[in-house]
Amino acid sequence: ALSCRRQALKAADSLLRLAAQDAQRIFIVKAGVVPLILDVLRTAGTKGRGVSAMLLERLLSEPSARPAAAASTDAVSLLLDVLKDGNVDETGRSSAACALSVLLVGSSDFRAAAARAGAAHHLLALLQRASLSGRPGNAKANATRALGALAMSSHLCPEIVEMGAVAPLVVLLRGEDPECRKRAAIALRNLAAAGPELKAAVAEAGAAEPLVDMLGCSDVMSKAAACAALRQLASDRSAQGTLLAPGAVKALAALLAPPSAASGETSLSDQEAAAWAQVSQASAAVLLSLLEGQSPADSKDGEEARTKELVEQVALTLGNPDFGNLATLTNHLKKLGK
């Protein structure tokens, strides 16, 4: 048995190196290696499980590999076992979190099974350990990615929030790692979308300010993640103070017109064009929520002044005086936000 384990570890290690190349990775998937890797996870020792998790992460980057993993009834529990194993190094646990996130995104049943097995607790533990270590790497991003995938099932979100997930996610928003910031924005968006109390918890943790800061980043996918999260928070009073600041309004208004429309840019990929469309739609929805929140029928003078200031700021940013009219701007935002 020990000899078999050693052979399996050696094979997994060799395949891991080969799978770094796109063509080889596709060939490995077609050869039916995914079920074999799951077998290794069932029987291997600490080192073998870590290497196998790394290989599985790499293979699951190919969509064609995912059905084989999803067909396994215990794939989620096997990956959680790697997360729980304190003897597996951070790289191995990080890979397990990444592979787990792929499975969770594709199946609500897997999300339910993972929740029953305590996935949120173990993912938060990985996130906290990785944050304390101060070492660069993917552990924080992968743990956050898996938490965001788990939060796609709204009924699981209250428990995730109760475990204290919001505060470390907001810390990631304020960090310098762009992948961590994007993944944290996605996770917080999913949590905030699960209900008014959870939305309030995210807003009160101070998520709005770093999300607004993300609007100025160069990566459109990160902009889209930030806009989607802000769209969920825009109706919360504790977040509106941040969103109504002139800098925030200007940043949101500047995103209403995608580059293709604003500057004649035609070199966007299909994915980038779709992301920019999401950014424009979400920005419009946020501004519309702010307008509606500040202009009730019995508006006070202060609220009327803030509404006027918001309208003027949007019109100035867009360079179109017609949008200085509240009704005209509201109709424009409604069209964009659909």
pLDDT digits 0-9 by tens, 69-113:
999 989 999 999 999 998 999 999 999 999 999 999 989 999 999
Q: How far apart, in whole angstroms, are the C-alpha atoms of residue 24 and residue 30?
A: 10
Contact 200, 210 (CB under 8 A): no
- Which of 85-99, 134-148, 257-271 ranks highest by mean pLDDT? 85-99
What radius of gyration, in Å, describes the C-alpha atoms of the chain?
Answer: 23
* pLDDT, tens only, 202-215: 999 999 999 999 99
Looking at this protein, which amino acid is placed at residue 138? Answer: N
- In whole numbers, what is the pLDDT of the chain averaged over residues? 87
Task: Give the pLDDT of residue 296.
Answer: 47
C-alpha to C-alpha distances, 113 to 21, 56, 288, nearest whole angstrom: 33, 20, 39
- Which of 255-264, 271-280, 302-311 ranks highest by mean pLDDT? 271-280
Q: Which CATH class is domain 1-147?
A: mainly alpha
**Residues counted in the chain:** 338
End-to-end CA distance of the chain: 61
**pTM for this structure?**
0.88
